[in-house]
Amino acid sequence: MASSIASTAWRPSTVLGIGEIKDGFKCIGKTKQKNPCENRIKKENRTRAKEILLSMSLTSPASNQFEDDLEELLDILLCWRHRKEMEQVAELMETWTRAIEEVVRRGGDEIMGEADDTISRLDADISDLMERRLRLVQGEERTQAGRERRGNGYPAPR
């Protein structure tokens, strides 16, 4: 179920505040003085990050399946120093998770529309099943009643 939102509202690099990953892309961590880290991210990690972001963009933000992706992104988009600063890593993880939740909540119409469709399809299936079951039960009762009537001396059908 490749959703249509994937290609429109849902842009993981923007949502996560990473921006475009190009040559010279720098560590997303902050120095002790709260300045952006100046360490560059090596090419193989940039390439991998782009792959992850692409695959995320093809998955509905409502899927709730990004934990591994986010962890890997943190690992490769932080320099050797900052990826070891657990507080900073945890903070980014929290920010990202919230940002994705916000997309789901806000951009919701389409996403929610999709979910609602699924639910109403399920509803329809269930009520169809219940109806069929009800008809079956009623049918059984009629047959049984018929048998009893015949047994009780009512005229048998010709």
Residues binding Zn ion (CB under 5 A): 27, 29, 37, 39, 79, 82
CA–CA gap between residue 32 and residue 55 (Å, rounded): 33
CA–CA gap between residue 40 and residue 24 (Å, rounded): 6
Q: Which is nearer to Zn ion, 12 or 29 (CB)?
A: 29
**If 0-12 CB within 10 Å is exposed, 13-18 middle and 19+ buried, where does residue 52 land?**
buried
Q: Which is nearer to Zn ion, 28 or 53 (CB)?
A: 28
Q: Which is nearer to Zn ion, 38 or 151 (CB)?
A: 38
Q: Which is nearer to Zn ion, 85 or 110 (CB)?
A: 85
Please, what is the minimum distance in Å from the beta carbon of residue 27 to Zn ion?
3
Instruction: Write the DSSP string, 72-138.
Output: HHHHHHS-TTGGG-HHHHHHHHHHHHHHHHHHHHHTHHHHHHHHHHHHHHHHHHHHHHHHHHHHHHH
Please, what is the minimum distance in Å from the beta carbon of residue 106 to Zn ion?
30
The per-residue b/e assignment along 103-120, b for 16 or more CB within 10 angstroms, e otherwise, is bbeebbebbeebeeeeee
Please, what is the minimum distance in Å from the beta carbon of residue 76 to Zn ion?
12
Please, what is the minimum distance in Å from the beta carbon of residue 8 to Zn ion?
33
Please, what is the minimum distance in Å from the beta carbon of residue 14 to Zn ion?
21
Q: Which is nearer to Zn ion, 79 or 100 (CB)?
A: 79
